Amino acid sequence: MKNLIVDHLSIRFGAANPVRDVCFQLDAGRSLGVVGESGSGKSLTALALMGLLPDQARVSGELSWGGRSLQAMSERERRAVRGREIAMIFQDPMTCLNPSFTVGYQIDEVLKLRLGIRSRVERRKRGLEILSDVGIPAPETRWDAYPHQLSGGMSQRVAIAQALASEPELLIADEPTTALDVTVQMQILELLFSLKKKRGMSLLFVTHDLSVAGRLCDEILVMYAGQSLELASANAILKFPQHPYTQALLAARPHLGGGASERLKTIPGSVPRANEQIRGCVFAARCEKKFDRCEREAPVFSSASQFNRCFLSKNERGSL
């Protein structure tokens, strides 16, 4: 099994710099929740891992998969990794399934091309197993169905089946349940995490919802304005958030058990634009704990700062 290491990832499109500095490590068999608001660069990071960024994107930093650099690979080697070792599922299941082919055809294709299974009978048998694994009732009848004949929840299950058919070691899920109803959302998430356990694969789970990630993932990476701000175990992030942004994010969200308190804490201002030049900390302009140094100098994100990009982190405080 392989580890994934992302080191100082930056993505530029001309003058825009939507991903400024992202670092994290995902060990084999673990799950990492990548949490951020819109514009935080979380989806672009996922696409960079898949090698699916548009041609004009300029990527710097190091993406390493099982000790090999993903960027140094030829397109041919990359293709062998994409979909085979690293698979991805997207937010909208309707647009990632081809409307003009049956469910069965689209799974069969993966088994034929990625796993090289020659026998058609064998592929059908495997395909039906996978469909029943992802909780599709009566897979034989669904095999010949077209995507438009399925509900949203069912299509997302098919998309998951398709991603899992190639037996990937790492699955990237980009907001896989945002388009679904709440009761169906929980079904799909539980399915995803139980499959992860059963198959021993790693899971990179991209979401805007801190509570969902906290409930399901081992670790959480909080992103903001294209940077990784805080990385810690899910429990630590929810119970003892260190970075002021994480703290503000948790406080801004109403809670079921919270009651109808008078006001929610808000984060003043808005997210910086991707083409904005920022000298100091990316969150300084909106941070209630900022001081002079925050606007002059950029805090680092490393083991030395305990993966908390803030001058107030424990170790940084010593150097003040």
Partner 1 sequence: MRALRGVDLEVGEGETLAIVGESGCGKSTLARLLVGLEKPDRGVIETSESIIPMVFQDSLGSLHPRRRVEQILVEPILIREGRWRFTPADRGRAEAIAAKVGITAELLGRFPHELSGGQRQRVNIGRALALDSKILVLDEPVSALDVSIQAQILNLLKELQATQGLSLIFISHDLSVVRFIAQRVAVLYLGRVVESGPAREVLTKAQHPYTETLLQSDPDATDGPPVRVVQGEPPSPLEVLPGCSFAGRCPLVQPICRTEYPAATVRGDRQFSCHVRAQADGTEN
89 to 128: interface string for partner 1, x by CB under 8 A: ----------------------------------------
Q: Does 141 interact with partner 1 (rule: CB under 8 A)?
A: no
d(CA 210, CA 247): 11
For the record, the structure tokens of 106 come out as 């689209």
For the record, the structure tokens of 206 come out as 């991209």
d(CA 59, CA 52): 12
| Selected range binding partner 1 among 41-49, 62-70, 107-115, 181-189, rule: CB under 8 A | 181-189
Q: Does 198 interact with partner 1 (rule: CB under 8 A)?
A: no
- 17, 45, 185, 305: which one contacts partner 1 (CB under 8 A)? 185
d(CA 112, CA 181): 33
Q: Does 144 interact with partner 1 (rule: CB under 8 A)?
A: no
Q: Residue 172's closest CA among 85, 262, 92, 277?
A: 85
Q: Does 181 interact with partner 1 (rule: CB under 8 A)?
A: yes
In the bound complex, what is the minimum distance in angstroms from residue 17's beta carbon to partner 1? 19
β-bridge mates for residue 227, sequence order: 21, 224
Residues 249-308 that bind partner 1 (CB under 8 A): 249, 252-267, 270-271
Contacts of 156 (CB under 8 A, 6+ apart): 89, 93, 176, 177, 179, 180, 188
Q: Does 85 interact with partner 1 (rule: CB under 8 A)?
A: no
The contact set with partner 1 (CB under 8 A) reads 37-38, 151, 153-154, 181-187, 190, 208-212, 214-215, 238, 248-249, 252-267, 270-271
